[in-house]
Structure 1
Amino acid sequence: MAVALTMAQMKVAVLRHSFHGGRAQTAATGAVLGVLFAAGTVYLAFAGPDLLAAGYAVWMLGWMLGPVFMGGGDETLRPEYFSLLGLPSRRLAAGLLVAAFVGVAPLVSLTALLGLLVAGVRLGPANALLAVPAMVLQLAVFVLLSKVSVALVGLALRSRLGAVASGVLNGAILAALGQIWVFFWAFGETGVPSAVWYLPSGWGLRAVQGDWRALAALAVLGLLLLGAWAALLGRRAGATRPSARGRRPMTAATVNGAIVAKELRTWSRDLVRNHQLTFALSYGVCFAASPLILGWDGMLPYAGPIFIVMAAAMAANLYGTDGTALWLTLMTPGVSDVRGRQLAWLSAQAPVAIVITLAFTAITGGPWPLMLALLPALLGGATGLVPLISVYGLVPGTDPHRRSGNPLRTSEDDGGLTGLAYLALALVLLTGVPAGLAALWFGWAGVAVGVVTGVLFAWGFGLLAERRLRSHGPELLETMRTGRRPRPTARSRFDELSKTKKAITWWCFGFGAIPLFPQGVVAAVFVSNDMLRHTWFLATYMPSGLRYPVAAAFIVLGLAMYGTGLWTLKPRSAG
């Protein structure tokens, strides 16, 4: 018990000294959004037990899959830190479990689990008393499922076969969740599936309803997961062995060719990159192929474009994943590192994207102009944006040779990595808009537009990234070496704002795209195509006379948010 309390105190001390600047803003934003989702979950307790059970199933999947896709989860206290203490695996796991309850995510999840207490109060005093241990055990199961999931994927990433298999599986799971409506429709589920009551996420609610066996099952599952995590921690202690298999030597006639060869060798040997590549491919194929269950193949050709966008999101921190190796580039004059990385990234991703796009478009018989226009446009946009985003929004990463026993943990700033991924998703999608519109309006002329815009995006964004790397290379190296960004010599307009105005500006620019694009523009397109009651697009659930007005209101709201952000940043006259 003393070890567990000490680890919890260590976690509190680390968090207290690490939440500042951009990291504090990211944590605060995540906490606010989490509390909103938690409040919505508690509201489901009043709407009905089926909906509440479904809500907790979503929370469980978030705990299991979120850390796998977003940097390996919270590892403020790494098991490696305590390797010299000689603690037994079970004792170490128990201590780390107690420390895992300290943080924003567990507190937000505990808030969501208040729905169990609400459900218990509505049933009676005895049920309300049962809700308290049910909440604790349910949260423990959530946390342990997260730890075991990350540990299993980390173990898989120690071999190439495991990295590929886990990438395929994770991509398929995330794609299935994104297309869950397809499976509901296919199996005739018009309401909440009955299966949510049999998942571990529903056992707490069953216990509150008077099923004592569910409470005992939660306790037993928690103990089993704790034992599994302890065993996996013991396996984690062994470092990943470097491959001793012979490799052909890298040969290059020029220094730029050497960069391409080095990057291609990295793409073939780095198991994390193997995992990311197969994840993006699996996600694109499974997401586009899911409607085949309903007999509709119209989405199949989009597997290639989806793969490109997801692959760009996975590589958005390209320079950050190299760690301090940037000094090699800075000390080699006359080298266009950006161009070499662009060519290597294109060489690794383009053949896959081209093959699946052409194959799936041939299967469905079209639309050929649209697909052939989007393919070069998105490839060029991604090729230019990947290095550009990386050098402007670089998140300090861990040197590859110093990675912990959790290979997914390539950076200490999960929020920063997630932000870069979402930024890359949005920007790469925008690069395909001109070609896509031209193909829809003018047919085959869109292909020429796609080729031209793709070349311009790759060349222009690459040029900006190269200039940034040359002008700010030492600062980027210092950021990766220390984990802190150098203080700017000149204060920007944003730095001069008060804390309140900074928060307003950050929220307007950070979340203005949500009402503008998905809830506004995309929802209006769905309504025009009679795609009603579609996932989270509010306008599709409105009565017929309110669908377009609701979509228009969201567009106005998004534009107003961006306008407010720009107005706040506008310099004020001295008078």
Structure 2
Amino acid sequence: MAVELTMVSMKVAVLRHSMSGQRAGFVVMGALVGLVLAAGTIFTALSWPDLLPAVYAVWMLGWIFGPVFAGGGDETLRPEYFTLLGLRPRRLATGLLMAAFVGVAPVISLLALSGLAVLGVRQGVVAALVSVPALLLQLAMFVLLSRVAVALLGLALRSRVGAVGAGLTNGLILAFLGQIWVVFMALGQTAGVPPVVATAARYLPSGWGTVAVEAAASADWPRVVAALGGMALLVVLLLAAWAALLTRRAGASRAATRGRRPIRATTASGAVLAKELRTWSRDLVRTHQLTFALAYGVSFAVAPLLLGWTGMLPWAGPIFVVMAAAMSANLYGTDGTALWLTLMTPGASDVRGRQHAWLLTVAPVALVVTVSLAAVTGGPWPMLLAVLLALLGGGAGLVPLVSVYGLIPGTDPHRRGGNPLRSTEEDGAVTGMVYAVLALAALTAAPAAIVTGLFGWAGVAVGALTGGLCYWWFGLLAERRLLAKGPELLDTMRTGRRPAPKPGAGGRLPFEELPRHKQIIIGFCFTVGAIPLFPQGLLAGYLKVSESPTRAWFLALYLPPWLQWPTIVFMVLLGIALYTTGVTLSYRRKESPTVDGEPGGELTGEPGGELSGELSGGR
């Protein structure tokens, strides 16, 4: 037990000394969102107890699939740190499990699971007593499911087949969760959770705690023992599985021994293009990201077929492009310190080569998916082509631009540990970058979509023009930034620290240097801004224009006709305003240099300036 308690103390010490800057801002923002969700879960236990198993099923899925977007989950203590101690796998897994309960996410989940205690108190003393071991076992089950899922995904990403399979599975499940309203409507339930879903959720491990509490209230002790015993057995099995996976994690994957075709590029840009194309085909993390984007786009567009609606089917290609741009936004950060090769090769057009490679990787797949699915539905061809052209150019321009301006230091590929998803320590920043690129990429297609809606096929030319401009201009800005700030970017990736701005200088501040209240506001703006902009604004407007009978959760479509368009426009403007506020707060004005509170130039020789003061003192 001493080893396990030591790991807990280590986790507490690391968290205590790392709660500053950007990490603290995202932790506070995540805690606030989690508290709201936990409060909603407790309210569900008070008002609609029959829905509690379905709610806990969502929490369980969040624990399992959340690490896919959070860089592999919380690994403050990594198994590799204890390799030389000679601990048994079972003891190492137990210690890491105990340490895993230290953190914000487990505390928030424990608050949410206190809904079981609320349910038990409402049904009697015995049920309340049974709820205590039920919620503790359920929390242990959530944490272990998350750890086992991360370990399995890490093993999957050691082979190309595993990376593709993991990407397909994750994309399918995440798209399903994003389109869950389609399933509800297909089951004949337009509001709330269908009874069949609520009943099925009781048979999932996340619903066993509710079953135990309700069985205790009715003195059905065999069911109580079965539910609690089942959770305890599952916890033991998951712990054993995690211990076995930890022993596999330390092993290194073997490199393929088949021959490689040599690079025969004759220009610097061609060499970059060849290198990037090989990276896209050989880096298993990039393979996983690209497969995930494709699976998500197709699954998201196919889901409405359950209702017989084919209107979203042709948009699988554009959705794939937007998701591919978001997943590869930290392009330079994932390469690590390999940037020094570019800096030591004057004249190499690294940005243009990466843009060409991204287009050659994404564009053919997007075109095939879009054209084939649009042929099934018969269009709408002008809108599809205009938006797709704009998105391809916008994505190819945004990926390098965002990467060099918002670089997040990553781990060198050859130093990745047993969890390949853990490519950076700044998980919250990566998540924020993904959401930002999702919004920016969608905005690059807005002019083409508007012109197409008004003038038809003329919008295709506008889409090609805006896509080309985004590709050229954003690439030019990224190339200039890379040439001007290349050494600073390399130092950032090498040390993990961004250079400190000069006193009084204007421009964008690093997130970790902003005041705590601004970090919270910016996090709120970038997290919430997507809700009014996309589903409540742009998507609702598309449904309105296409005269679709689907209303789902889109607020504007439930209002009187004369209020629908004003509400849609308001939602779009609100989303843009939230994103603009988040960006604006990260900048500061340039301050005039001062001496003792009086304005003066440092080297101007004017009265009050430092130079004149030194000269006067010298005389």
Q: Give yes or no for TM over 0.5.
A: yes
The 5-angstrom pairing of residues 96-107 of structure 1 reads 96-107=96-107
Amino acid at match of 2:173: I
Compared with structure 1, are the counterparts of its residues 543 and 128 closer, same or farther at alpha carbon in structure 2 (3 Å cutoff)? farther
Q: Find out whether 1:344 has 2:362 as its counterpart.
A: no
Secondary structure at 1:319 match in 2: helix
Q: Find out whether 1:487 has 2:492 as its counterpart.
A: no
* Whole-Å separation in 1 of the counterparts to 2:371 and 2:526: 37
Secondary structure at 1:471 match in 2: helix
Q: Find out whether 1:534 has 2:552 as its counterpart.
A: yes
Q: Which has the larger radius of gyration?
A: 2
1:429-477 C-alpha deviation (Å, 9 max, x unpaired)? 1111111111121111111111111100000000111111111111111
Give the aligned length.
574
The 5-angstrom pairing of residues 77-156 of structure 1 reads 77-156=77-156
Amino acid at match of 1:369: P
Structure 2 residue ranges without an equivalent (≥5):
217-222, 599-619
Compared with structure 1, are the counterparts of its residues 514 and 189 closer, same or farther at alpha carbon in structure 2 (3 Å cutoff)? closer
Q: Is the 8 A contact 2:351 2:475 kept in 1?
A: yes
1:373-417 C-alpha deviation (Å, 9 max, x unpaired)? 111110000000000111111111110000001111111111111
Q: Find out whether 1:201 has 2:196 as its counterpart.
A: no
Question: 1:189 deviation in Å?
Answer: 4.8
Aligned to 2:439: 426
Q: Is the 8 A contact 2:25 2:516 kept in 1?
A: no
Q: Is the 8 A contact 1:345 1:383 kept in 2?
A: yes
Task: Name which of 235, 250, 258 aligns with 1:237.
Answer: 250
Secondary structure at 2:331 match in 1: coil
Moved more, 433-442 or 331-340: 433-442
Question: 1:511 deviation in Å?
Answer: 3.9
Aligned to 2:372: 359
Q: Find out whether 1:443 has 2:448 as its counterpart.
A: no
* Whole-Å separation in 1 of the counterparts to 2:305 and 2:514: 52
Amino acid at match of 1:205: T
* Whole-Å separation in 1 of the counterparts to 2:105 and 2:491: 30
Compared with structure 1, are the counterparts of its residues 281 and 74 closer, same or farther at alpha carbon in structure 2 (3 Å cutoff)? same
The 5-angstrom pairing of residues 14-29 of structure 1 reads 14-29=14-29
Q: Is the 8 A contact 1:494 1:502 kept in 2?
A: no
The 5-angstrom pairing of residues 292-441 of structure 1 reads 292-441=305-454
* Whole-Å separation in 2 of the counterparts to 1:278 and 1:512: 27
Secondary structure at 1:484 match in 2: coil
RMSD: 2.7
Compared with structure 1, are the counterparts of its residues 239 and 559 closer, same or farther at alpha carbon in structure 2 (3 Å cutoff)? closer
Compared with structure 1, are the counterparts of its residues 106 and 497 closer, same or farther at alpha carbon in structure 2 (3 Å cutoff)? closer
1:38-90 C-alpha deviation (Å, 9 max, x unpaired)? 11111111121222221111100000011123311111111111111111111
Q: Is the 8 A contact 2:26 2:523 kept in 1?
A: no
* Whole-Å separation in 2 of the counterparts to 1:293 and 1:266: 38
Amino acid at match of 2:179: Q
Amino acid at match of 1:288: A
* Whole-Å separation in 1 of the counterparts to 2:580 and 2:410: 34
Q: Is the 8 A contact 1:505 1:569 kept in 2?
A: no
* Whole-Å separation in 2 of the counterparts to 1:568 and 1:339: 29
* Whole-Å separation in 1 of the counterparts to 2:503 and 2:276: 36
The 5-angstrom pairing of residues 548-567 of structure 1 reads none
Secondary structure at 2:366 match in 1: helix
Moved more, 309-318 or 122-131: 122-131
Q: Is the 8 A contact 2:390 2:445 kept in 1?
A: yes
Q: Is the 8 A contact 2:508 2:588 kept in 1?
A: no
Q: Is the 8 A contact 2:154 2:418 kept in 1?
A: yes
Question: 1:187 deviation in Å?
Answer: 3.5
Question: 1:524 deviation in Å?
Answer: 6.0
Question: 1:188 deviation in Å?
Answer: 3.5
Moved more, 17-26 or 368-377: 17-26
* Whole-Å separation in 2 of the counterparts to 1:391 and 1:558: 25
* Whole-Å separation in 2 of the counterparts to 1:290 and 1:159: 29
Question: 1:258 deviation in Å?
Answer: 0.6
* Whole-Å separation in 1 of the counterparts to 2:304 and 2:288: 25
* Whole-Å separation in 2 of the counterparts to 1:501 and 1:278: 36
* Whole-Å separation in 2 of the counterparts to 1:478 and 1:568: 22
Q: Is the 8 A contact 1:534 1:541 kept in 2?
A: no
